[in-house]
A and B are shown apart, each in its own frame.
Chain A
Amino acid sequence: MTAPAIEAVDLYKTFGHSTALDGVSFSVAPGTVFGMIGPNGAGKTTTMRILLDIIRPSSGRARVLDTDARNAGPALRRRIGYLPGDLILQGRISGRRLLTQYVDISGPVRPGRIDELAERLRVDLDRPVRKLSKGNKQKLGIIQAFMHEPALLVLDEPTSGLDPLMRQEFLAMVKESKAAGQCVFLSSHVISEIQQAADEVAILRNGRIVRVATVEDLRGTAVRHLRLRVAGTGAGDLRSRLQTLPGLDNLKITDDDGRGAAASATLAGAIAPILAALAVLPLTDLVLEEPDLEESVLSLYTAPNSEEQS
């Protein structure tokens, strides 16, 4: 059993009177992609900064790549690629010069690697950094995080500012990193990205982890939308057949001009019993949508936390 790539135990962090992290614990297995989602101010950035020893927890501890993150020193950070949440790059120097400067304080970078990544992300390295758009600066940030092929990537809102095409390219890079044995810890408030990239997801709210689940688990509890259409059955008949089915909610039946009926509903839980029940109906159309993670996660964002007093 190998040690986890990241192990956070009971991290607390207060800034003055406000609590940024209120006991965050999680563990990330090596070679996996771990996503952290939550609204702004939930504590995602604070968690990541603690892993990099940029800020120190008020209490609790974090181990990164089997080393205590606190005062770990340069040897550990050489094995981490970090992209800060609000990346600021400025100066007259070209992107290439800037990256070379980071190479000097980073892990070893394979020759040609920077150009490879730049070509992939379509960024012109010869332009002065300050003239680059937000998206292109973000690409430089991604390059400096990936260039030394670190064992662990810590990426705070990595796709912010990227266009949809580049987002897909970035997600492909994450997948390749995982295939190469690297571990990726990324945060986002765009759930669809996490859903595409991550093996496991932690949902953070008000400095607490509300839930850690695999994407599959999340999908399992997620709500699916079901639409169907039947021929030769009236609306009333359809309603009586569907009403009793387990997990079916928000049922709406419309009469289809006497030729049949249409129904829409939300479905939570197992699919098989529903399908078995539907199989006997004279279906002309059936749509079972992919579960919407966003919907299920949003319910966690907004669900009142029972432990929380106002």
Chain B
Amino acid sequence: MSATTATSPRSDSAVDRRRKPLPVFGKVFSDTWRSLAGWAAGLAAVIFLYLPLFPSIGGSDQMQQLINSMPPQLVHALNYDQIGTGAGYTQSTLFGLMGFLLTSIAAVGWGAGAIGGDEESGQLELTLAHSVTRTQVALERFLALVVKLLILATLVFVLVAALNGPAQLQLDTANLLGCCLLFAGLSLLSGTAALLAGASTGRRIWGVGVGAAVAVLGYVFNAVGNQSPDVEWLHRLSPYYWAYGNNPMNSGANPLAVVALFGLAVLMGALTAMVLRRRDVGV
């Protein structure tokens, strides 16, 4: 009906901007690099605070006496049994406690925000209205979570390896590497649980709740399971125990645990994509 000579809205003269590969993945990094840098700084601070103290704390007789005088339940709960060696000290203070706490919080926050938070804020709707598939959005955001946690784990590996000599830790590099992998896998599991719960409900708070539950219950089941043979079965339910139950800094990472942690995370990542595909977004 229009009398004007209509030019095609998608004329051939339009020059295609080179589309970036994995655009959704890339956007995650430009949106959250500050947060990544913040958590990296936090982890570095923990490493530089704890590890150099080993010669005067963990390795000292006085500390060993203190540990011996503590109730054994408390020692088991804190995984402080092996605090006298560099490997045990690094395991219980860094990987088992402060590092675990920090990366779990980071992973749950990222996981819950990646889809649930994005949907809640109304921005996911606009992203999905563009030329992307929901599967692509879910998987690229899952991949971004994996990469961010691997970056943190790499940082931990590099810093701990660097402090190995100066702090007289006498760590085995292969064990450290394996432990860092478990460290990443353990936080990834809670992070992916948060991603899945956020994507299922479209609410950030559900992601945070479920992700935190996975992390906290894993820790609690391990601590309670340590107390007596009667409740040892709780270990089976504890990703924390799968990862750290055999003292990987001493005895090397259990490959089965690595596969279990990353395998479950990948499974939940795939579930996230399936769930998101089926849902109404932003209602």
Q: Residues of A at under 8 Å CB distance from B? A: 15, 29, 31-32, 49, 52-56, 73-75, 77-80, 82, 84, 86-93, 97, 101-111, 141, 144, 149-151, 177-182
By the criterion CB–CB under 8 Å, are B9 and A104 in contact? no
- The smallest C-beta distance from A27 to any residue of chain B, in angstroms, reads 15
Query: Are A55 and B281 closer than 8 Å at their CB atoms?
Result: yes
Distance between Cα atoms of A31 and B2 in the complex (Å): 8
Which partner residue on chain B sits nearest A56 by CB separation? B280
Given the complex, which residues of A lie within 8 Å of B122, measured CB to CB? 84, 86-88
Which of B2, B9, B23, B125 is in CB contact (< 8 Å) with A150?
A: B9
Given the complex of chains A and B, what is the CA–CA distance between A105 and B28 in angstroms? 13
Taking CB atoms, residues of chain A closer than 8 Å to B1 are 29, 31-32
Whether a CB of chain A sits under 8 angstroms from the CB of B45 is no
Whether B256 is near chain A, meaning CB under 8 Å from some CB there, is no
Closest to B120 in A: A88
Additional pairs, 6, CB under 8 Å, beyond known A82-B130, A181-B2? A55-B281, A77-B129, A92-B34, A93-B30, A105-B132, A144-B126
Question: What are 7 A-B interface contacts by the 8 Å CB criterion?
Answer: A74-B130, A78-B130, A87-B126, A93-B31, A179-B4, A179-B6, A180-B6
Among A15, A53, A78, A101, contact of B30 (Cβ-Cβ < 8 Å) = A101
Q: Which of under 10, 10 to 19, 20 to 34, or 35 or more describes the interface residues of B?
A: 35 or more
**Whole-angstrom CA separation of A15 from B282 in the bound complex:** 12
- Chain B residues in contact with chain A, CB under 8 A? 1-2, 4, 6-11, 13-17, 19-20, 23-24, 26-27, 30-31, 34, 121-123, 125-133, 136, 280-283
Once the chains are docked, how many angstroms separate the CA of A131 from the CA of B34? 18
Closest A residue to B22 by beta carbon equals A104
Chain A residue, CB-CB nearest to B129: A82
Instruction: Assess the B125–A49 pair: CB atoms within 8 A.
Output: yes
Q: What chain B residues lie within 8 Å of A101 (beta carbons)?
A: 23, 27, 30
Q: Which residue of A lies closest to B127 (CB)?
A: A105
A32-B1, A54-B282, A181-B2 known; A107-B10 Cβ under 8 A: yes
Query: What residue in chain B is nearest A78 (Cβ atoms)?
Result: B131
| Minimum distance in angstroms from A185 CB to a CB of chain B | 13
Closest to B16 in A: A108
Contacts of B131 in A (CB 8 A): 74-75, 77-78, 105-107
Cβ contacts under 8 Å, A31 to chain B: 1-2, 6
Which of A73, A90, A103, A109 meets B121, CB within 8 Å?
A90
Q: Which 10 residue pairs of A and B lie closest in terms of their CB atoms, listed nearest first?
A: A181-B6, A104-B23, A55-B280, A88-B122, A74-B131, A78-B131, A82-B129, A108-B16, A105-B130, A182-B9
